[in-house]
Amino acid sequence: MILKELKLLKFRRYSDRYFQFNQNINFISGINGSGKTSVLEAIHYLSLTKSFRTNINSEAINDGQKYFQIFGNFLNKQSLGLLINLNYSRTDGKRVIVNGIPETRVSDHIGKIPIVILSPDSVHVTDGTQSERRSFIDKILSQAFQEYFVNLLEFRRRLSARNQTLIDYFKKGKNHYDAFFESQDELLVQYALKIHTYRMGFQREFNLIFQDYFRQFSHISKTVEFRIIPNIEADDEEKYEGFCLRRLKENFRRDLISGRTSTGPQYDEIKIILGEHDIKPFGSQGEHKITQIALIFAEGKYLEKIKDEPVIYLLDDLFAYLDARHCQKIVDFIGKHNQVFITATDVKETLQYGFEKLKDAMVIDIGEGKIK
Amino acid sequence: MSTLPNSVQVLIELFARFPGIGRKTAQRLAFYLLKAKREEAVALAKAIIDVKDRIFKCSTCNNIAEVDPCPICTDPRRDHSIICVVQEPMDVLAIEKTGHFRGLYHVLGGVLSPLNGIGPDDLNIDGLLQRLESIQEVILAINPTRDGDTTALYLSKLIKSRNIKVTRIAQGLPVGIELEFADEMTLTHALEGRTNL
Ligand SMILES: Nc1ncnc2c1ncn2[C@@H]1O[C@H](COP(=O)(O)OP(=O)(O)OP(=O)(O)O)[C@@H](O)[C@H]1O
Ligand SMILES: [Mg+2]
Ligand SMILES: [Zn+2]
């Protein structure tokens, strides 16, 4: 997938701005606060219908305006055009229109434009909370499989309904696991099983790719593993629903007091094991970074394999985050086959890293409003 | 806006509260009434008062009626061993229109929806359980939505524990289609193709 043109209307600090991009490397350059990250954010919106830095859409509306619009002109592997228009207005909410046809559900859109983002937040994959790590796999699987995304949404809604029921029962002093809970749980575990099955399949396939990249990028001789430790350990998938139901029932009293369901894939854990150890507490800084980069590449490679379409990479503040040698490696590696967007405060700095040798790279200087 | 006489404004405000009626439509309705003959307006006002004064909920099936129990519950030609459970009175109307169901009804008054604060105590479920003595089959005509599925499963557990056959119509209804909007053919097929729970 390639983004050829982008138009931003009343988005962040842009009132009306048009961009044309290169099919390989695009440097988005400008001083701090000039709006570089906002360009990546807009592309992220077109792909995943949301921002990567806020959950509040109205924050992205240009100050004092009522709505924003983003237009993107994409071209896929078969040279088919995809004209995507995302509107968000304070009064009417969000709308996504693809080649003139409105998307009826978000789940119909996710995955059409596969992207991978590396931002300062990406560190959370190796050193963040469990929930941040889960969102790493959820983001990949949701783009890869529509069925996963739909199941995840349904699971989350059913889970919050169950939690609400726990709270209501607790308030009313009802403390029996009754037919109402039984009914909710029997339906809930069907979705839990789907999520579990996808995640386990992902783990198998993803590990091979991840380990391969890790070996390519590091001189670290340790083995590495992306490990999912499911909250429900069932030796085979047929037993999963039964196990899950039993645990939901066993933990009912405890859950009633906390008002939260403590059993299910919402508590799956993810560990990255380097050598013998969990990387989070034991990894060195360098090991964390190499692992994060290998994970990002593996994410892209995995998505490409499933979607059969090159992914677009969004690399925010790469230079602040990695040293020159690593940056160069990354850009060399993906710039050949994929379209890449890199933000940088200083073009000279990027050139100093040796990128001027890349003849295809395009520098878009938004700080001065010029396109070179 | 402020140039409108107060009584017209009040009317617009009231119309705007109706489901599916926005401000624009509310204005159109109000202006239509301004132009209409006096008798027409009076007839409308009387009809509104009548439904409020004369319509009750049947104490047996919870459907709307002018007499209690309602004509369906007291009709000797209907099959009193089958109950069809629906969400709203409008669903009774939709199924009656097919002419393919000759049993009794039970109106729940909604579905179980914890996120909207509706639990088992908020629906007319006890009323249903009290009616089950001479019943041989309960048909659940509940919309195939998230909350509808939970409600159907819950009811089937309660009813089956009394050794009564429970079926659900759903097959003929495309997921997400509400009963009240399904056409008669679809609904008839759905009734005939009900599945055992
Ligand atoms: N809704 C908005 N309306 C107008 N301006 C906004 C809005 N949201 C953010 N901005 C402005 O945009 C700028 C931030 O944009 P962005 O984060 O894209 O900059 P950046 O070039 O990535 O900066 P940095 O180099 O510091 O990362 C800030 O100056 C901010 O005040
Ligand atoms: Mg930035
Ligand atoms: Zn009745």
Question: Is the residue at A4 inside a domain?
Answer: yes
Distance B155 CA to ligand 3 centre (A): 19
User: What's the DSSP call for residue A283?
Assistant: -
Note whether A315 and A284 are same-domain residues. Answer: no
Residue where one domain finishes, among candidates A307, A330, A349: A307
Note whether A102 and A201 are same-domain residues. Answer: no
Note whether A170 and A142 are same-domain residues. Answer: yes
% chain B with pLDDT above 90: 73
Note whether A320 and A298 are same-domain residues. Answer: no
| Domains of chain B, each with CATH number or no CATH | 6-54 (1.10.8.420), 73-196 (3.40.1360.10)
Q: Which of A146, A145, A123, A130 is nearest to A228 (CA)?
A: A130
User: Phi, psi (5° rounding) for residue A114?
Assistant: -70, 125
Question: Is the residue at A325 inside a domain?
Answer: yes
What pLDDT score was predicted for residue B7? 92
Written as six digits, the tokens of B188 are: 């008839």
Question: Is the residue at A119 inside a domain?
Answer: no
Domain enclosing residue A372, as ranges: 1-114+309-372
Distance from CA of A183 to the nearest CA of B (A): 5
Q: Which residues pair with A69 in a beta bridge?
A: A9, A87
Note whether A317 and A359 are same-domain residues. Answer: yes
Query: What is the helix (H) or strand (E) element at residue B29, kind and residue range?
Result: helix B23-35
Question: Is the residue at A348 inside a domain?
Answer: yes
Q: Kindly report which listed range (A301-305, B94-98, B181-185) carries the lowest average pLDDT score.
A: B181-185
Total domains in chain A come to 2
Q: CATH number for the domain including A322?
A: 3.40.50.300
The 10s digit of each residue's pLDDT in B120-167 is 999 999 999 999 998 999 999 998 889 999 999 999 999 999 999 999
Residue where one domain finishes, among candidates A307, A328, A354: A307
Question: Is the residue at A317 inside a domain?
Answer: yes
Mean pLDDT, consecutive 10-residue stretches, chain A (372 aa), reads: 97 96 90 94 97 94 96 96 96 93 92 92 88 94 95 96 97 95 97 96 96 85 93 86 96 96 97 92 87 91 96 88 75 83 79 62 70 42
Residue where one domain finishes, among candidates A307, A325, A342: A307
Reported as half-sphere exposure (CB side, CA atoms, 13 A), residue B196 has a value of 4
Question: Is the residue at A255 inside a domain?
Answer: yes
Which residues form ligand 1's pocket by a CB distance below 6 Å?
A: A 12-13, 30, 32-38, 59-63, 343, 345
Q: CB-based contact (8 Å) between B154 and chain A?
A: yes
Note whether A149 and A297 are same-domain residues. Answer: yes
In this complex, do A158 and B146 lie within 8 Å of one another by their Cβ atoms? yes
Q: Which of B140, B151, B153, B162 would best serve as a mutation to test chain A binding (most A beta carbons within 10 A)?
A: B153
User: Phi, psi (5° rounding) for residue A206?
Assistant: -65, -40
Q: CATH number for the domain including A273?
A: 1.20.1050.90
Note whether A104 and A214 are same-domain residues. Answer: no
Question: Is the residue at A120 inside a domain?
Answer: no
- Whether residue B1 is predicted with pLDDT greater than 80 in this model: the reply is no
Question: Is the residue at A3 inside a domain?
Answer: yes
Note whether A175 and A315 are same-domain residues. Answer: no
Note whether A202 and A246 are same-domain residues. Answer: yes
Note whether A197 and A219 are same-domain residues. Answer: yes
DSSP-assigned letters across all residues of A113-164: S-EEEE-GGGGHHHHS-HHHHHHHHHHHHHHH-HHHHHHHHHHHHHHHHHHH
Count Cβ neighbours within 10 Å for each residue of A230-260 and write b for 16 or more, e otherwise. bbbeeeeeeebbeebbebbeeebeebbeeee
Note whether A98 and A129 are same-domain residues. Answer: no
Distance from CA of A169 to the nearest CA of B (A): 9
pTM: 0.86
B82-86 and B64-65: which strand pairing?
unpaired
Give, in order, the Cα–Cα distances in Å from B78 to each of B74, B165, B179: 9, 19, 22
Sheet holding A115-118, edge to edge: A115-118, A312-315, A339-344, A25-29, A362-365, A370-371
| Rounded Cα gap, residues A354 and B150, in angstroms | 61
- Whether residue B58 is predicted with pLDDT greater than 80 in this model: the reply is yes
Note whether A129 and A260 are same-domain residues. Answer: yes
Give, in order, the Cα–Cα distances in Å from A208 to each of A118, A129, A212, A277: 21, 24, 6, 19
End-to-end CA distance of chain A: 23
Structure ipTM: 0.82
